[in-house]
Amino acid sequence: MDAGRLTMASARILQRSRWVALVVVSLGQLMSVVDETIVNVALAPIQRGLHFALPDLTWILNAYLISFGGFLLVAGRLGDLVGRRRVFLIGVMVFTASSAVCGAADSKTVLIAARFVQGLGAAAASSTIIAIVATDFGDATDRARAMGIYSFIASGGASLGLLAGGFITHALGWHWIFLINVPIGVITLVLGRLSIRENTAPGIDRGSDILAALLVTAALMVLVYAIVTSSSAGWLSAHTLSACAIAGVLMLSFVAAQARTANPMMPLRVFRTPGLGAACIVRGLLMVGFFATLFIGVLYLETAHRYGPLQTGLSFVSQTVVYSSISLGPAAILVQRFGPRLPLLVGFPPMIAGLLLFAHAGAHTAYFFTLCAAFAATGIGGGLMFMPLLIVAMAEIGPSDAGLASGIINASTQMSAALGVAVLGTIAADRTRNLLLHGAHRPFALLDGYHLAFAVGTGAVVAAAMLTVLLIRGRR
């Protein structure tokens, strides 16, 4: 009897510790995602404070995206080999320290360099989180709930970053959008050491191919660099094409190195896992549509409606609230009862409807109720779809490869977000430039450019819906 009670008590403690660990890793993910967008509404104050030239201002965003997107794959695999808890905590430590440097920066060089290091820390922390959640929560019901929480943080955190950036910049100044990470990071480190269980890590053997890890990291960084600079250099410019070619050569070298290595650091078999590739492609197309609201939506509100940072951030409240409500409740219930395919299919219509509302919104369109409804509709779609895609992606991944799969999912998401921002920004700018050359008034030309970008984002979501029907099956 005593042994039975002891076993039950131990099981209850283990169950509670899993949820505590989920809260801790979610804090780490929240910091990483929020810092992708929190600076968007603070760029003007930063430009004035540090005397940035306008072309250099984009590097506050680009430096973070390049290191974040480039290091995710290797960081995820390192979690499998040396311990996910260890990699997560090191990432949080690096992210927290570099955030303090960003907040104290007194020159643009220091800020950009610190943002690059901050991206490395964010990659190390976030690359292992999906693997930690997937391996800690074996029960289908608990896994769906846990993935719902993670999905809200991972995707909803981007719009939350806009809201937080508006509030903090308005109330305290731009330095605090970075300094706010320091106390959160310290709390995450302390709780993480106490609550996160370490996985069985085989270690990095002498036969592991470190060169391949360096090759794939360099390839991804160069590719992200090509994407984020394409809007200014031009998609068909020698700069962009040569960077893409270098990234391609590095990636082929990585594949060749892995194919002839007896003990590959990143085994290529993981990339062939059923469900993982399809989920990443669909998720990537969805991110293009979702980031249309986060990037083009911000430009639309600031130029067409003359919103300041605080008003712009507040405009995303309906999207954030609806997204969190759906992903933390109904989405998990639907996945549990019907499998991941049904909520995916149900989520596409509201997402498409919301983007179409933006594509037809004018300079005098009222926030209540048209724009509010558009934000809410995209929140409904995102809340229903992003979590089931994680379930599909991780469904057939073994525990030993969960970190690498986590890195693949995160890397594909970051690439898609960066590509979406670059493509949509280029489309909007080119459309505006052509209209201005033909004598159109600037407000009309800007608005028409935004409309075209929203239409392209809508097309990406429609393509994601078609691929979901073709590639993602109705397995429970």
Say how many domains are in the chain.
2
Domain termination site, one of 224, 248, 264 = 264
Q: Quick: pLDDT tens for 342-392.
A: 999 999 999 999 999 999 999 899 998 899 999 999 999 998 999 899 889
Whether 116 is covered by a domain: the verdict is yes
- Domain containing 336 equals 18-204+265-471
354 and 366 both lie in a single domain = yes
* Shared-domain flag, residues 196 and 106: yes
In a domain, 13, yes or no: no
Q: How far is residue 343's CA from residue 335's CA, in Å, rounded to a whole number?
A: 7
Non-local (6+) Cβ contacts of 202 within 8 A are 81, 400
DSSP 45-113: HHHHHHT--HHHHTHHHHHHHHHHHHHHHHHHHHHHHH-HHHHHHHHHHHHHHHHHHHHH--SHHHHHH
Residue 216 CA to residue 239 CA, distance in Å, equals 21
User: pLDDT-derived band of residue 208, with 50, 70 and 90 as boundaries?
Assistant: low
Which band of pLDDT confidence, cut at 50, 70 and 90, is reported for residue 11?
A: very low
Q: What is the CATH number of the domain that holds 324?
A: 1.20.1250.20
Residues 449 and 334 in one domain: yes
The per-residue pLDDT for range 39-55, each reduced to its tens digit, is 877 777 888 888 887 66
* Average pLDDT along the chain: 85
Q: Please check whether residue 265 is in contact with residue 209, taking contact to mean a CB–CB distance below 8 angstroms.
A: yes
Say if residue 189's pLDDT is above 80: yes
Helix axes 59-82, 210-233, angle to 10 degrees: 160
Domain shared by 387 and 418, yes or no: yes
**Band (10; pLDDT cuts 50, 70, 90):** very low
Asked if the model's pLDDT at residue 38 lies above 90, the reply is: no
Give a yes or no: residue 83 inside a domain: yes
Q: DSSP string of 449-471?
A: HHHHHHHHHHHHHHHHHHHHHHH
In terms of domains, do 159 and 143 share one?
yes
Which residue, of 264, 283, 298, is where some domain finishes?
Answer: 264
pLDDT at 324 over 90: no
**Residue 100 within a domain:** yes
Q: What is the DSSP letter of 269?
A: G
Mean pLDDT in residue range 109-126: 93
Question: Please, which residues have CB within 8 angstroms of residue 44's CB and are 6 or more apart in sequence?
Answer: 309
Q: Are residues 322 and 198 both part of a single domain?
A: yes
By percentage, how much of the chain surpasses pLDDT 70? Answer: 93
Cα gap 297→312, rounded to integer Å: 9
Do the domain assignments include residue 6? no
In this structure, the number of other CB atoms found within 10 A of the CB of residue 370 comes to: 15
**Mean pLDDT, residues 253-282 taken together:** 83
pLDDT digits (tens, 9 = 90+) for 227-264: 888 877 888 899 999 999 999 999 999 888 887 777 77
* pLDDT single digits (tens) 412-458: 888 888 888 888 888 998 899 999 999 999 999 999 999 999 999 99
Q: Do the domain assignments include residue 234?
A: yes
Which ranges constitute the DSSP H helices of 152-197?
157-171, 176-179, 181-195
If asked whether residues 320 and 446 sit together in one domain, one would say yes
The dihedrals phi and psi of 208, each to the nearest 5 degrees, come to: -65, 145
Q: Which residues contact 93 (CB under 8 A, 6 or more apart)?
A: 121, 185, 189
- Which has the closest alpha carbon to 457: 227, 319, 292, 282? 292
Helix/strand number for the chain, H first, E second: 22, 0
- DSSP at 265: S
pLDDT value of residue 470: 92
* 301 and 155 part of one domain: yes
Within this chain, do residues 96 and 136 fall inside the same structural domain, yes or no? yes
The confidence score (pLDDT) of residue 6 equals 41
What is the reported pTM? 0.83
Alpha-carbon span 301 to 296, nearest angstrom: 9
Per-residue confidence (pLDDT) for residue 4, from 0 to 100: 52
Same domain for 212 and 185, yes or no, is no
> Using an 8 Å Cβ cutoff, are 224 and 65 in contact?
yes
CA distance 188 to 125: 11
How far, in Å, CA of 78 to CA of 224, rounded? 21
Provide the pLDDT for residue 399. 80
- Do 373 and 234 lie in one domain? The reply is no
Q: Does residue 298 sit in the same domain as residue 406?
A: yes
Q: What is the pLDDT of residue 119?
A: 92
SS3 label, residue 433: helix
Which candidate, 57, 63, 165, places its Cα nearest to that of 112?
Answer: 63
Answer yes or no: is 435 within a domain: yes
